[in-house]
Structure 1
């Protein structure tokens, strides 16, 4: 595997094929898209017509007064935030595992006091046993002043009355994974109705979706595993999305001088006939 780095993105390649492209020069937040299986199926979708700020596999949060997720204000006097790429540190440019360390500053788009300084590490290697690519996404956020992680005004009420938020590490799936059936959700290896998945705190959550245009129908899958007890948010109507985040079950206070450590692995793989 090897990396190609240009002025806007880092491309992860395996035998000439693109495993994923990390766009670091976006005006609001870095993200991974396309995110592909070894068979070449793209599982991600970036900036669809219904949610411009949904960008492949991305990581974002909100704090009082600054919204790093929606890329627009969702409340009076709320500022739009950006994750500003500063530089790359360690680069693993070729070998069995490739990736980088990145320094990021979280701050309002129009300037102002930074909220977080982040060291982000993203790597990828071939996962032969799973017929896929195995990614790691580690974010270490240094908290620069007293604040808290807040939930979205668009948090979704579940059948049991709970509101579940969708911030953190999340992926917007390709169009046909939404609203057409043919999907499967596994939480910690157990098949679970998609409508019952949100609000759980799994070690792993796997979403399988059916690919259009191929008969017999094949599936592609994304499995997110986490070391933290973050809440899961998952849906497939009217579109498909899955993510885990520290504020998905409620606000989280953060104190100046502390850090928030987030560690995820993401497996992107081919499943075979549905």
Structure 2
């Protein structure tokens, strides 16, 4: 495993190509049309500054240092958290100065316990990624074993919010991505229904992990395989997950970026169907009357929201007498956005399912990319805050360089 420890910085960087790396610069962050709080901020790093080893960023109004980190994106970006409220229409200035790397400890860690990657903020676990195969509880149903998914997903107080191997639907695993009704080389394949034993999805490799004061996470490779091919199991899709957990003060916040590519020369046809895609399964305690509720960005519920096309969906419920919720935001850049959502009429799970709108193909040489953001909170759902989180994701605050 190739592990990358991202350098920890107490600063930020932004420049123009002719700017000397040694010169301080001033940055202007604009809130835009809404209030901002606990918001991830990004800026693509100009080529002239990509060799810099570290920076300090100080807030203009009070000189306070702000933690910042360089992403592993290509091209690299800088990121920091806007941790004090910035009202709509307002702006904030920062002073950025190159400096040596900081030795500050990582606030967000990603550690391998041998079977899972455990991503935590401070001493609080946020999520586990299962890279080892998790066996089915029932030995007679070994085909339900799975790797390459997120579970458990935790609340800030340590309560587990996702379910795995539920008695009613043992093929639903925490946060997972699976297509349902597909055709590959003339054969009908269902990657969602493990009981059919026609296909499987599995973890292949950890690409890298990273830690930092602003975010931590990993990149992992998965494979979708046809088990019905005449010559034996045949790879259909190679998938990459990039997972980034942020150091925010308001619950837990993380992104999942999935990229699926054809594993060979044959396309995969995803047929029209009523579910399939990026899904989340809630706790089995929520599998009861009024055990879990759904709320969409359009105000729809389990009763009237199925196959609607929301920006986000919140699943909420009680555990040990306390309320919890987890929201999935579907990026406006996704295929067929806003994507239809399958809200199950009785089970605690939902899935963003673009195939509801009709057949499409994943073709060789054309990756299928999809991005989702998740927010986990304790307490009753706060629609106003959730909508603010959506705007942070869909229309983030803008950063510009101010020439002194």
TM-score bin (small chain): 0.7 to 0.9
Give the C-alpha shift of residue 182 in structure 1.
Answer: 6.2
Which residue of 2 is the match for residue 118 of structure 1?
239
Instruction: Determine whether 1:66 maps to 2:189.
Output: yes
**Mean Cα deviation higher: 199-208 or 170-179:** 170-179
Structure 1 residues 212-260: Cα deviation after superposition (integer angstroms, max 9, x where no partner): x23xxx31111111122221011351x2111213323433233332211
Give the C-alpha shift of residue 265 in structure 1.
Answer: 0.5
* Structure of greater Rg: 2
C-alpha contact (below 8 Å) 2:252/2:377 kept by paired residues: yes
Tell me the distance in 2 between the aligned counterparts of 1:210 and 1:260: 36
Which residue of 2 is the match for residue 91 of structure 1?
209
Tell me the distance in 1 between the aligned counterparts of 2:118 and 2:306: 32
Structure 1 residues 162-190: Cα deviation after superposition (integer angstroms, max 9, x where no partner): xxx221111111123333326443322x4
The alignment partner of 2:303 has SS state of helix
Tell me the distance in 2 between the aligned counterparts of 1:84 and 1:243: 19
Higher helix proportion (structure 1 or 2) = 2
Tell me the distance in 2 between the aligned counterparts of 1:231 and 1:246: 6
C-alpha contact (below 8 Å) 2:261/2:362 kept by paired residues: no
Distance 1:260 1:21, change over 3 A: same
Aligned residues: 249
Which residue of 1 is the match for residue 290 of structure 2?
181
Higher strand proportion (structure 1 or 2) = 1
Which residue of 2 is the match for residue 161 of structure 1?
none
Which residue of 2 is the match for residue 159 of structure 1?
none
Instruction: Determine whether 1:146 maps to 2:267.
Output: yes
Which residue of 1 is the match for residue 306 of structure 2?
198
C-alpha contact (below 8 Å) 2:261/2:366 kept by paired residues: yes
C-alpha contact (below 8 Å) 1:185/1:191 kept by paired residues: no
C-alpha contact (below 8 Å) 2:109/2:211 kept by paired residues: yes
Which residue of 2 is the match for residue 13 of structure 1?
120
Which residue of 2 is the match for residue 55 of structure 1?
173
Tell me the distance in 1 between the aligned counterparts of 2:359 and 2:318: 35
Distance 1:134 1:247, change over 3 A: same
C-alpha contact (below 8 Å) 1:184/1:191 kept by paired residues: no
Give the C-alpha shift of residue 31 in structure 1.
Answer: 1.4
User: Aligned match of 2:353 in 245, 251, 263?
Assistant: 245
Which residue of 2 is the match for residue 24 of structure 1?
131
The alignment partner of 1:53 has SS state of coil
Distance 1:182 1:119, change over 3 A: closer
Q: Unpaired segments of 5 or more residues in structure 1?
A: 74-78, 153-164
Q: Unpaired segments of 5 or more residues in structure 2?
A: 1-107, 134-144, 383-404
Give the C-alpha shift of residue 273 in structure 1.
Answer: 9.5
Distance 1:183 1:147, change over 3 A: closer
C-alpha contact (below 8 Å) 2:161/2:282 kept by paired residues: yes
Give the C-alpha shift of residue 122 in structure 1.
Answer: 1.2
Give the C-alpha shift of residue 37 in structure 1.
Answer: 1.0
Which residue of 2 is the match for residue 4 of structure 1?
111
